[in-house]
Chain A
Amino acid sequence: MRLERGHGTREKGHAMLELAISAGVMVSCLVGTFQFGYTFYTYNQLVTAVGNGARYAAQRTYRSGSEDVERGNAAIRNMVVYGDAQPAPEAAPVVPKLTPAEVEVRWDLGGDGTPLNVNVAIKGYTTDAIFRSFTFDGRPSVQFPYVGKYAAGELER
């Protein structure tokens, strides 16, 4: 009888040890899965947002006056961040905590100042996956050819 009881206690100990090891492995895997899953989800949203912003930028009227260019770039950044060039004051970003300052808009201009391409990229955006954060700098990035109307000079105000 004593021998049997001892054997049972040893089995319980093995089971406890096995549970502790496998639970550690499983929790680590689940944490990793959450981190990568959430980060991929965020990256995918950024790709969509940058694509939408670049499509919008490629088709809007480009005025070469410096104020107009800056106003246009602000509208493009808003399109990326809020999905709307002129968002409502309480509009929420399409990607959590993304701000217009984290969107870079760059124009490739021809010799006469005509826009040829527009590049839209994410700069220094950090996503918080709870256990770890990831920073996207220069990615995602897309280039679209400019196919909108070009108007030289400032818009009269």
Chain B
Amino acid sequence: MSVSMFLLLAVVGMAFDLGRVYIARNEAQIFADAASMAAAKQLDGTAAGLERARAAVTALPDRWNLGTEEFKGVVVEFSADGTQWDTQPKNLATLRYARVTAPDNPVEIMFLRAVGGPQSFTVPARAVSSTNPVRLTE
């Protein structure tokens, strides 16, 4: 009986918890894509453009966890060449890329934890967009 309950919880957990994890991962990636495009759109080589880029990411209404939760701890970085990234860049005129990382999206595990699974599973997402024209590059 206990063996079959263990297996049953594992199967329920696979369907329920992993289903939610996959959805959250998808939602986070779509948010990162939209946020990096929103940031790249605002870059114009000025400090005001940089502020607008950060504000555009914050203002994005996209949610995760079945569309119920806001993204927290979102990191916005900028780069001139797509290799060196900085949250507070100095040489604003050369900026050509915006990168957004949504690192903190922990999906609470409900069934799999009863059979030895983790308490939560984090699904980070990252996207990079270029300016002129604004396009997703990663």
Spell out A's residues near B (CB within 8 Å).
Answer: 18, 22, 26, 29-30, 32-34, 36-37, 40-41, 43-44, 47-48, 50-51, 54-55, 58-59, 139-145, 147
Q: A29-B8, A43-B66, A51-B26 are in contact. Are A143 and B16 (CB under 8 A)?
A: no
Decide: A139 and B1 in contact? CB cutoff 8 A.
Answer: no
Q: Which of A18, A22, A47, A59 contacts B23 (CB 8 A)?
A: A47
A72 to chain B, nearest CB (A): 18
* Interface residues as binary, B1-28 with A (CB distance below 8 Å gives 1, 0 otherwise): 1001000100110011001101100110
Spell out B's residues near A (CB within 8 Å).
Answer: 1, 4, 8, 11-12, 15-16, 19-20, 22-23, 26-27, 29-31, 33-34, 37-38, 40-41, 56, 60-62, 66-67, 133-136
Decide: A36 and B16 in contact? CB cutoff 8 A.
Answer: yes
Decide: B12 and A140 in contact? CB cutoff 8 A.
Answer: no
* 10 contacts across the A-B interface (CB closer than 8 A): A30-B11, A33-B12, A40-B20, A44-B23, A55-B33, A139-B67, A143-B60, A144-B33, A144-B37, A147-B133
Decide: B67 and A141 in contact? CB cutoff 8 A.
Answer: yes
Residues of A within 8 A of B29 (CB): 51
Decide: B30 and A33 in contact? CB cutoff 8 A.
Answer: no
Measured in the bound complex, the distance between the Cα atoms of B2 and A132 in whole Å is: 29
Decide: A144 and B8 in contact? CB cutoff 8 A.
Answer: no
Decide: A51 and B12 in contact? CB cutoff 8 A.
Answer: no
Residues of B within 8 A of A44 (CB): 19, 22-23, 26
Q: Which of B19, B37, B40, B62 contacts A41 (CB 8 A)?
A: B19
Residues of B within 8 A of A47 (CB): 23, 26-27, 30
